[in-house]
Structure formats: structure tokens, C-alpha cells
């Protein structure tokens, strides 16, 4: 007989999923009700309102999609890209490459603006791409590149798109709740995120928001949106305002209880305080790592506090370190991707995982593991360096 599955208790400090708050897990286990139940609909309206707060937008077309962040990405592209449309796609890591895939699969023409992995999107290159191409419909870029730990200047990039009459699609999967984001203030037209990074919630839901301009473009499409499930015009019938809700698909009822709870927690903490918390614990982690002699991949000005890409010390087998951290400390950190594989670790400080206990656990587990393996690091300094930040 197969037995029930009980996962080990891990500390998740990788690129996501990150630690889920016990409050959110408790919400997940509440009794399932019908997805057209008036009480469920009342909860959905609260989710929409709190999501507007989290994204900083008043747009009524703000809602969670019943699928992971990648589906939110696809929802933005499938609704806004029509065959022959020109889209400037910025790529400075893994996720820009997926944007290109989306553009091409929906018949668009991707004009690539590439920056080295570990550096932000260069606004001057985006300006040049607009200057070299007429009739660009969309600019798409990743705000927080989880594959490298880089933050790009979304505000400036959106301004460039607006100056050139283009709409914007912005990936905020890792920035929402962790770094400053102002969807309406920056004029973002289509934005998607995920629940499992800085929102302390399990994976599987993708919040999205579309501006009024984007809605008009979607409504004026010449071709039928090639995805039935992600067609925003149909989804709106379910999530749209008013008492009359049309059946579209069965909402993941319990996952939405969880998401609701994570948004309640964000409201209680305050958006700006959540951003500041990520920055604060990042400073402590950084002080500890640097005291150990471990350096950062990304230049300080563009570092994501919630995703720290740090160099593996010379001669160390990075995968062995990760498996020891998991086996001995129940601690998960992430590996490098692409050209950075084997060279960096990605240490996440996202959502509920972003706290002092985790910072100290990570520093001591890493120091013990590395010194037992004979790595060339400075010992007995890291915890004091982190504590110095905490007591400052
Ligand atoms: C995690 C992530 C995604 C994909 O989200 P899933 O929930 O895994 O589909 C997209 N973009 C970025 C920047 C991410 O970090």
C-alpha cells in the first residue's frame, strides 16, 4: 500500500518557491465551497482589490489567473500580440528568452535587445531599437531577472515605450511584494506575476493586470485570441465586476483562499515596509557573505535584494554544497543557470523566507559546509557581520 506523502520541512532560500507562511497554509486547508458561491465571490472581489494595492493600479482588469507565472506571461502575449506585430523584447537572462518564444508563437516579430547576463536592460539600447524600427507595438522586459538577480529600471523603460507610442508587457514575477513597483505610476500596460516568490504563497496562481489602453487593444483585435483559456475577454466575464458571473473554468478555490491570506498579510505589513524588509535582510546576508569572502555577481546598484547571485569559491563543487545544505540543514538554495551554472549560487530572500533566522541559518550552514570541504573562506566573521547590521 502506498502511504500518504509527508514532505520534509525545508527552508526555501532558492529562486522560488519560497517559504510559505503558516497563515497561508492554514487558509489553504479551509473547507472548499462552490466557486460561484456568494461568499466565494465576495472573497474574489477582495482579492482583486488587494491585488490592485499590491500592483499599485486602479485598473479593474486586475485578477489572478488560475495557473503559474508562465501562464500569466502567456496571457499577456496571447492577448496583445497579433500576427505581424513588432515587439521589442529585452533579454538579459532566462525569462527574456521565454518572452521571445511567446512573441514568435503568436505570429509576432521579436526585435531582440540583448544585455549580458548579470547586467540590467540598457535603456539606450531600447531607445536605439525604437529608432531603428517603425510601428513597434510592444516593449517587453523582465523587471526582476530571477536567473541572475538583476533589477532593471522599469520606470525609464516604460517611459521610452510611451514616447514611442508602444505598449509595455512587464514580468514582475519576482519583484511583486519584494521591490518597488508602481504599475499605474510607471504606465505599465500588461503585467504578470507569481505567488511563490515574494508573496509567501504556494505556486500555481498568476496575478495579472491590464491598463485601459491594453484593454482597448485587446477589444479591437482583428484575429481571434488563439488561446481559449487565456482569452482575457472571456476571463473577464468570470472575474469582471458586478453580481453576474459567467462560468469560465472552476477556480482553484483553496489556492485562492491562500492567495487571499497572503495579500491580507501584505496589507497588514504595508507594501513599502515589505520592500524595506527585503532590502534590510539582504544587507545582513550580504555583510555576512562578504565577511566570509564570497562576492556578488551583480553590481550593487542593480542587485535584487530578494535574489542574491554569489560566486562559488574557487575549486568548490557547487552541487555538492547544495546537497549537503539540503541533507544536513534542510536548506535549499539555487544553482546558477546557463553560462552561470557551476559558477554562482542563487540565494533567495523572498516573502516569508526573508527573515533574520533564515539569514543566520544560511550563513552558518554555508560557512560550516564550506570549511568542512576545505574551501578558501574566512571563518568566524560572517555571523558577527550580519548581527552588526541587525543591531545598527
Ligand atoms: C519564476 C518566474 C517565472 C515563471 O513563473 P512560474 O510560476 O514558474 O511559471 C517567470 N518570470 C520570472 C522572472 C520568474 O522568476
Ligand 1: which atom is nearest the Cα of residue 146? 15
Mutate to test the pocket of ligand 1, among 18, 90, 95 (most ligand atoms within 8 A of CB): 95
Q: How far apart (Å, rounded) are the C-alpha atoms in residues 25 and 22?
A: 5
Domain with CATH 3.40.640.10 in the chain: 22-268
Nearest to 160 by CA among 113, 117, 193, 116: 113
Question: Is residue 198 a contact partner of residue 355, using CB atoms and an 8 Å limit?
Answer: no
Mean pLDDT confidence for 178-205: 98
Ligand 1 close to Cβ of residue 172 (< 6 A): no
- CA distances for 332 relative to 15, 45, 127, angstroms: 10, 35, 40
Q: Domain 22-268's class?
A: alpha beta
Cβ-proximal residues to 204 (8 Å cutoff; 6+ apart), any chain: 66, 67, 68, 195, 196, 252, 255
Could you give the 3-state DSSP secondary structure of residue 141?
A: strand
| Fold annotation for 271-391 | 3.90.1150
DSSP 246-293: ---S---HHHHHHHHHHHHHHHHH-HHHHHHHHHHHHHHHHHHHHHHT
- pLDDT at position 242: 59
Per-residue pLDDT band at 171 (split at 50, 70, 90):
very high
Residue 98 confidence (pLDDT): 97
Measured CA to CA, the distance from residue 80 to residue 107 in angstroms comes to 11
What is the spatial distance between Cα 293 and Cα 376, in angstroms, rounded to a whole number? 8
pLDDT in the model for residue 241: 60
Angle (deg, nearest 10), helices 382-390 and 356-372 = 170
> 221: annotated binding-site residue?
no
**pLDDT of the residue at 237:** 73
150 with 302: CB under 8 angstroms?
yes
- Using pLDDT thresholds of 50, 70 and 90, give the confidence band for residue 271: very high
Centroid of ligand 1 to alpha carbon of 353 (angstroms):
17
Determine the average pLDDT of the residues in 35-51: 95
CA–CA gap between residue 11 and residue 19 (Å, rounded): 6
| Residue range(s) of every CATH 3.90.1150.10 domain in the chain | 271-391
Amino acid at each position: 500500500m502506498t502511504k500518504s506523502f509527508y514532505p520534509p520541512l525545508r527552508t526555501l532560500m532558492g529562486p522560488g518557491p519560497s517559504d510559505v507562511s503558516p497563515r497561508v497554509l492554514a487558509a489553504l486547508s479551509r473547507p472548499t465551497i462552490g466557486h460561484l458561491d456568494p461568499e466565494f465571490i465576495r472573497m474574489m472581489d477582495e482579492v482583486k482589490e488587494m491585488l490592485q494595492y499590491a500592483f499599485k493600479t486602479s485598473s479593474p482588469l486586475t485578477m489572478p489567473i488560475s495557473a503559474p507565472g508562465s501562464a500569466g506571461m502567456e496571457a499577456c502575449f496571447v492577448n496583445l500580440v497579433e500576427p505581424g506585430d513588432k515587439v521589442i523584447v529585452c533579454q538579459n537572462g532566462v525569462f527574456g528568452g521565454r518572452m521571445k518564444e511567446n512573441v514568435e508563437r503568436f505570429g509576432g516579430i521579436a526585435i531582440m535587445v540583448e544585455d549580458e547576463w548579470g547586467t540590467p536592460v540598457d535603456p539606450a539600447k531600447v531607445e536605439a531599437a525604437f529608432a531603428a524600427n517603425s510601428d513597434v507595438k510592444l516593449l517587453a522586459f523582465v523587471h526582476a531577472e530571477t536567473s541572475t538577480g538583476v533589477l532593471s529600471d522599469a520606470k525609464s523603460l516604460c517611459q521610452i515605450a510611451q514616447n514611442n507610442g508602444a505598449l509595455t508587457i512587464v514580468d514582475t514575477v519576482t519583484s511583486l511584494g519584494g521591490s518597488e513597483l508602481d504599475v499605474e505610476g510607471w504606465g505599465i500596460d500588461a503585467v504578470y506575476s507569481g505567488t511563490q516568490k515574494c508573496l509567501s504563497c504556494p505556486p500555481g496562481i498568476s496575478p495579472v493586470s491590464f491598463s485601459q489602453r491594453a484593454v482597448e487593444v485587446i477589444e479591437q483585435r482583428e484575429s481571434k485570441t488563439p488561446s481559449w483559456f487565456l482569452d482575457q475577454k472571456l476571463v473577464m466575464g468570470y472575474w469582471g465586476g458586478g453580481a453576474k458571473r459567467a462560468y469560465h473554468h472552476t477556480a482553484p478555490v483553496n489556492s485562492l483562499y491562500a492567495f487571499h491570506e497572503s495579500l491580507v498579510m501584505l496589507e497588514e505589513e504595508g507594501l513599502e515596509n515589505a520592500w524595506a524588509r527585503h532590502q534590510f535582510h539582504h544587507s545582513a546576508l550580504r555583510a555576512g557573505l562578504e565577511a566570509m569572502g564570497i562576492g556578488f555577481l551583480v553590481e550593487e546598484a542593480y542587485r535584487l535584494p530578494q535574489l542574491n547571485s554569489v560566486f562559488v569559491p574557487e575549486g568548490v563543487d557547487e552541487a555538492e554544497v547544495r546537497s549537503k545544505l539540503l541533507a544536513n540543514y534542510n536548506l535549499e538554495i539555487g544553482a546558477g543557470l546557463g553560462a552561470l551554472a557551476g559558477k554562482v549560487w542563487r540565494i533567495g530572500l523572498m516573502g516569508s523566507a526573508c527573515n533574520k533566522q533564515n539569514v543566520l541559518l544560511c550563513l552558518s550552514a554555508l560557512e560550516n559546509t564550506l570549511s568542512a570541504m576545505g574551501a578558501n573562506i574566512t571563518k568566524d566573521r560572517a555571523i558577527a557581520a550580519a548581527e552588526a547590521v541587525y543591531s545598527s
